[in-house]
Amino acid sequence: MVSARRKALEMLWRGNCTVKAWQEVEDPITHITNHEEVTLYKDLKCKLSHEKLTSSSSTGGPAKIAEQIKLSLGNEYGIPAGCKIIVTQDNVTEEYTRSGKPGIFMDHQEIVLELFKEYA
């Protein structure tokens, strides 16, 4: 059952994501195992947010600015490390991968992402 707090959160989520993983798949006829991209979840409601992180330099040089990309979605989904997460939000689609352990909260989870390069 989805709580009232979760429903309120989902009203702020304006994106959708698909989660894919590189897995072993056995052909049912030949019984040969190959690696394939497998869709784990499709069209999950989510929210992509960007946060700027600034670190000062101890040598007196310019401050370094980095961006942290975070995905918020339901906490009932197990998103494995190294998977591909395709997010569409505000008519922009981008591929990411999970870069850290998700933060699990009462009504959602937050996953730090980085741009997808390739499967590990």
Summarize pLDDT for 56-115 with one digit per residue, the tens. Answer: 666 666 777 778 899 999 999 999 888 999 999 999 999 999 887 899 999 999 999 998
Concatenated DSSP letters of the chain: ---HHHHHHHHH--EEEEEEEEEEEE-TTT--EEEEEEEEEEEEEEEEEEEEEEE--TTS-PPEEEEEEEEEE-TT----TT-EEEEEETTEEEEEEE-SPPEE-SS-EEEEEEE-----
Q: Which domains does the chain have, with CATH numbers?
A: 4-115 (2.40.10)
* pTM of the model as a whole: 0.80
